[in-house]
Structure 1
Amino acid sequence: MTSVKNSGYRKNFSLIVLFLILISVLFILSLFLAYNFSKKFIENEFVSEKVKVLESSIKPYNDFFQNKLPEVSYYNGYLDSATTSRFVDTLLLQYPFVSQVNFYDAEVGSTPVTNGLNTGHFSFGPKYIYQFGSLVPADSVKIFSKSKPGKFSRGDDFMTLGFKLISYIETLDTTKAPNADELFSNFSIVRSNKITYLNIPRFEDLKVYKQMMRTKLKTSPVYQQDMLSFFLDPYKIKIINTKPKLYETIRIEPLTYDPLDTSSDYSTTEITLPGPFSDYKLYFSSANSFVDKAVFEYFLPIALIVLFFYAILVLIAFLIYRNLNINHRMFKLQYDFVNNLTHEFKTPVSVIKIAGNNIKSAASLTEREQQMYGRILDEEADKLNGLMNKLLAFTQIENKAIQLNQDEINIVDFIESTIESHQLKYPDFNFTYEVNGFTSFVTDPVLLGSLFDNLAENAYKYSPVSHKFLHVTAKLIKGKIVFRFTDRGIGIPAPEINNIFKKFYRIQNQYNQNGSVGLGLAFCKELVNFMKGEITVKSKVNQGTEFKIVLPYND
């Protein structure tokens, strides 16, 4: 039966080892896959997140293009140099990428102009041209005046947008109002590093412009138009790195920029700037070690989660192993207990049976034989009764099924009575005692007697023939009764000290060959605990053992 149990235990243990190997392989594989996933994810992020950087960086430009430019139309062509100067000052502070603004104070009329455009009875030309900017000298603000002869020198933007205006008016459908997007696209020009914008006239004015191109009006109306050219510097765009853990450096470079250093130590990507900045790009560069750090930071939480689940599985395997181990030890203890208990019962039962058979088979018995058989039967019955009482008492104490009696005892009389009973049983037992500090105390005499008997039996049993000795001291120390049981026996090995009070545990030595249930010291431990005391042990192999018991003192 034991071999079958051991075989099952070894099989279960092998399954646990196999389970640990399997989850360890899965753990390593999971970490490998998690790292590769993290690396792939960061590589994709490195390529895709540049769009968010671009969106954040050009957000001020989008605000300028969508909200600030249309403000020019609010003035309906009546901007002057002073108002424009203040407008530009605010603009330069709010949008640093605007480096200079040229202001064309223009008008539309039916009288032909020298510096401008003429088609039919429609004319479009500047009255004044101004330039504003932080680097523009104060004496160079006005660069053209209609009252002075000659052509203006910076008319490319004006002429280009003028042609666009004329083309738009010629194709204008006057039966329906144009939408905002149509007007905005036809009254602005986006070029490299420059946006030119003409304030949008009212729809009624556009109808008049169309009539002026076809026929001569009876009156000669004049309409004010304002045109502004915004010079943009892409290098003054503030780069907002929304992914500082991903991109080490971000620069604005020409679209044709090609780095000289193309080593594999760096990861790079790029994205073109929109609109007037389309000749430039955002250039992203990160050292591979920098990217690896981002990979590790992303991988670490995943690894910790995988490690957490791995630890749970290992813990489960450990708990299963521990339970198997405990069950195996419990089985062994129970098996040994049954064997030893059987042996303990078998010996007196065998003796009783032999004595009974001898009595039954004898024709007659002498008085001496009757006394001998009577003594044998009585002694063996006492052994059986003592063993049963010990098992019953142990169970009752362990389950708190009995009450602790409180009787006053004379300690000297109690110890001498114990000595007498054991010396009658073992004449070669040298039993001495010493009492200091008290003469009596209140306790349960039956339980204390069981405690003394068990420790005395152990002292006699586990001592060589020439060292059957036990010395008991009883002292009152700081309100506690301290008993010390000192023998000169074989001693207890240090590794076994922590096991001797365990139920059914037996130390393997020559003194246990004839059987021991393994309840004696466990019973003593339960007795002392039940009496609200403490028991400790000190021992040296081949020199002896001392048990120390501390009980409460009740006088």
Structure 2
Amino acid sequence: MASEKKDGYRKNFSLILTFIVLMSVLFLLSLGLAYRFSTKYIENEFVSEKVNVLEESIKAYNDFFQKKLPEVSYYNGYLDSATAASFVDTVLLEYPFVSKVVFYDSEVSNAPVSDGLNIGRFSFGPKNIYQFGSLVPLDSVQLFSRNNTRNFIVGDDFNTLGLKLVSYIEGLDTTRVPGQDELFSNFSIVRSNKITYLNIPRMEDLKVYKKMMRSRLAANPVYQQDMLSFQLDPYKIKIKNTRPLLYQYIKIEPLTYDPLDTTEVYLSTEITLPGPFSDYKLYFISSKSFIEKEVFSYFLPIAVAILLFYSIVVLVAFLIYRNLNINQKMFKLQYDFVNNLTHEFKTPVSVIKIAGNNIKSAAALTDRELKMYGKILDEEADKLNGLMNKLLAFTQIENKAIALNRDEIKMLDFLESTVESHRLKHPDFDFSYEVSGFTTFVTDPVLLGSLFDNLAENAYKYSPAERKKLHISARLIKGKVVFRFTDQGIGIPASEINNIFKKFFRIQNQYNQNGSVGLGLAFCKELVNFMKGEITVRSKVNKGTEFKIVLPYND
């Protein structure tokens, strides 16, 4: 039977160990896959997140293009050098990437102009041209006037947008109202590092412009048209790195910029800037060691989740393994209990049966034989009765099926009575006892007697023949009654101290070869708990054991 239990233990252990090894391999594989996934994810993020960086970085440009430029039209062509300078100052302050602004104070008329465009009867030319910027000298603000050209050529910006204006007027459908997007695209030119914008005329003015192209108008009208050319510096765009843990360096470079091959050490990507900056790009570069930090920060929560899952699985495996072992131990304890209990019952029953047969078969019995058989029957019946009472009492106490009686006893008399009964039973048992600090004690005398009897029987049973001694002390200490049972027996190994109060547990030694149910100390523990006390033990192998019981005093 022992061999089968050992084999079962090994089988359970092998299965659990195999399971844990497989789970460990799966755990390591999962970590590897998770790290690889994290690396690929961050590398994809490195490529895709550049769009967000671009959007954040050009927000100021989009605001300038969509909101600030259209403000020129609010002046309806009546900007002068002073108001233009004030307007440009706000632009330069809010948008650092605007380096210089050229202002064309222009007019449309039926009279031909020497500088500008003359298409049929339609004329478009500048009256004055100014330039504004932080690096423009004060004496160079005015570039052109009709009275003093300073040898300045009106230039391609003015002429190109003027031609665009003429083309739009020629094809204008006066029966419909054009949309804002249509007007904006036809009254502006976006070139590399430059945006030229003409204030958008009213629809009534555009209709007049169309008439002016075909004939001279009697009123000879003149209309003010303002044009501004914004020169932009892409290197002044403020880069907003929305992923500082992903992108180590971001810079603006020409589209033709092509660094040396650094793919072994660095990761890089790029994205073209929009509109007038289309000849430039945002260039992103990070060292692989820098990227690994971001990979690890992404990988760490996944690894923790995997580790938590693995820990739960291992814990479940451990609990299953522990429960299997507990079940095996319980099965062994129950098996031993049944065997020992059978033995304990079988021995007195056999003796009683033999004595009964001898009495029945004898023709006549002497007085000596009658007394001998009577004593045998009485003792064996007492053993059976005691065993049954212990089992019954244990079950009742464990299930709290009995009530605690409270009677006052004289402690010294109680000890004398207990000691005397054991001396009669075991004449070779050397008893000593003492009481100090109190004389009476309110308790359940039956339960206390059972407690004393079990500890005394244990002391006798587990002591060598030459050291069958027991000293019982009863003291009142700090409002508690403290009993100590000190013997000189074989002692209890330190490894077994925590198990001796468990049901059906028996220490394997020569004193247990004749069988023991394993309920004695468990019964004592239940008794003490039922009496709201505590029981502890100290022991040294081959030196002796001391049981200490603390009970409430007259509560």
Is the Cα–Cα contact under 8 Å of residues 77 and 224 in structure 1 kept in the other structure? yes
Which residue number corresponds to residue 436 of structure 2?
436
Equivalent position SS for 2:271: strand
1:532 pairs with 2:532: yes
In the superposition, relative to structure 1, how do residues 126 and 485 fare at CA in structure 2: closer, same or farther (>3 Å)?
same
Structure 2: how far apart are the matches of 1:213 and 1:153? Answer: 25
Q: Is the 2:105–2:225 Cα contact (8 Å) retained in structure 1?
A: yes
Q: Distance in 2 between matches of 1:10 and 1:260?
A: 64
Give the CA deviation at 1:7. Answer: 5.3
Partner letter of residue 362 of structure 1? A
CA distance in 2, matches of 1:276, 1:250: 20
- The equivalent residue for 1:249 is 249
Q: Is the 8 A contact 1:115 1:152 kept in 2?
A: no
Alpha-carbon deviations, 1:520-540, whole Å to 9, x = none? 111111112222222211111
Indicate yes or no: 2:343 matched with 1:343. Answer: yes
Q: 1:298-337 residue pairs with structure 2 within 5 A?
A: 298-337=298-337
Which residue number in structure 2 is paired with residue 450 of structure 1? 450
Which 5+ residue runs of structure 2 have no aligned equivalent?
none
SS of 2:213's equivalent in the other structure is helix
Instruction: Give per-residue Cα distances to partners, 1:320-339, cap 9 Å, x unaligned.
Output: 12221211111111111001
Check whether the contact 1:130–1:143 (CA below 8 A) recurs between aligned residues.
Answer: yes
The equivalent residue for 1:400 is: 400
* SS of structure 2 residue aligned to 1:522: helix
- 1:172-223, CA deviations, whole angstroms, 9 ceiling, x for partnerless residues? 3333333222222121111111111111122222222222222233332211
- Secondary structure class of the residue paired with 2:506: coil
Amino acid at match of 1:157: D
Which AA in structure 2 matches 1:368? R
- How much has 1:421 moved relative to structure 2? 1.4
CA distance change for structure 1 residues 123 and 447 in 2, over 3 Å: closer, same or farther? same
Once residues 554 and 546 of structure 1 are traced to their aligned partners in structure 2, the CA distance between those partners, rounded to angstroms, is 25
Cα 1:93/1:352, change in 2 over 3 Å: same
Question: What CA distance in whole angstroms lies between the structure 2 residues aligned with 1:544 and 1:319?
Answer: 37
Letter in 1 for 2:427: P
Give the stretch that moved more between structures: 268-277 or 256-265. Answer: 256-265
What are structure 1's unaligned runs of at least 5 residues? none
The structural deviation recorded for 1:295 is 1.0
- Cα pair 2:116 2:154 within 8 Å, conserved: no
Provide the residue aligned with 1:297 in structure 2.
Answer: 297
Alignment partners' CA distance in 2, 1:490 and 1:51: 83
- Give the structure 1 partner of residue 355 of structure 2: 355
> For each residue in 1:237-289, what CA deviation from the matched residue of structure 2 results, as whole angstroms up to 9, or x when unmatched?
11111111211111111111122462522111111111111111111111111
**What is the distance in 2 between the residues matched to 1:135 and 1:163?**
31
TM-score using structure 1 length: 0.96
The one-letter code matched in structure 1 to 2:475 is K
Task: Indicate the residue corresponding to 1:467 in structure 2.
Answer: 467
Change (3 A) 1:209 1:497: same
- Is the 1:116–1:124 Cα contact (8 Å) retained in structure 2? yes
**1:94 partnered with 2:71:** no
Q: 1:115 to 1:345 in 2, by over 3 A?
A: same
* Structure 2 residue aligned with 1:166: 166
Cα deviations across residues 457-478 of structure 1 (Å, max 9, x unaligned)?
Answer: 1111111111111111222222
Asked if the contact 1:110–1:222 (Cα under 8 Å) also holds between the matched residues in 2, the reply is: yes
Structure 2: distance between partners of 1:480 and 1:160: 110
- How much does 1:101 deviate? 0.5
CA contact (8 A) 2:80 2:105 kept: yes
SS at match of 1:214: coil
CA distance in 2, matches of 1:438, 1:67: 100
Give how far 1:352 is off: 0.8
SS in 2 for 1:466: helix
Q: Is the deviation greater in 338-347 or in 493-502?
A: 493-502
Matching residue of 1:268: 268
Letter in 1 for 2:200: I
The separation in 1 between residues aligned to 2:46 and 2:142, in whole angstroms, is 49
1:495 maps onto 2:495 in alignment: yes
Shift in Å, 1:150: 6.6
Matched residue, 1:232: 232
Give the distance between the partners of 2:58 and 2:229, measured in 1 at CA: 19
Q: Partners in 1 of 2:352 and 2:287 — Cα distance?
A: 94
Give 2:283's aligned residue. Answer: 283
Question: Using the alignment, how far apart are the partners of 1:479 and 1:207 within structure 2?
Answer: 114
Maintained 8 Å contact 1:481/1:550? yes
Superposition RMSD in Å: 1.8
| Corresponding position of 1:31 | 31
Task: Determine the structure 2 residue equivalent to 1:375.
Answer: 375
Give the 3-state SS of the residue equivalent to 2:184 in structure 1: helix
The residue identity in structure 2 corresponding to 1:246 is L
CA shift in 2, pair 1:4/1:544, >3 Å: closer
Moved more, 156-165 or 513-522: 156-165
Letter in 1 for 2:120: G
The corresponding residue for 1:176 is 176
Offset of 1:410 from its aligned partner? 1.9
Residue type matched to 2:244 in 1?
A: P
The percent identity for this pair of structures is 79
1:478 alignment partner in structure 2: 478
2:188 partner letter: S
Secondary structure of 1:217 counterpart? coil
Given that 2:143 and 2:150 are in contact with CA atoms closer than 8 Å, whether structure 1 keeps it comes out as: no
Indicate the SS of the match to 1:231.
strand
The residue identity in structure 1 corresponding to 2:239 is I
Distance 1:205 1:437, change over 3 A: closer
**Is contact 2:115–2:154 with CA below 8 Å preserved after alignment?**
no
* TM score, norm. by length of structure 2: 0.96
Residue 346 to residue 223, structure 1, CA distance change in 2 (3 Å): same
Q: How do 1:101-112 residues align onto structure 2 when only pairs under 5 Å count?
A: 101-112=101-112
CA distance in 2: counterparts of 1:484 and 1:178, whole angstroms: 110
Q: How far apart, CA to CA, are the structure 1 residues paired with 2:154 and 2:214? A: 29
User: Is 1:234–1:277's contact at 8 Å kept on the other side of the alignment?
Assistant: yes
Is residue 460–residue 469 contact of structure 2 (8 Å, CA) maintained in 1? yes
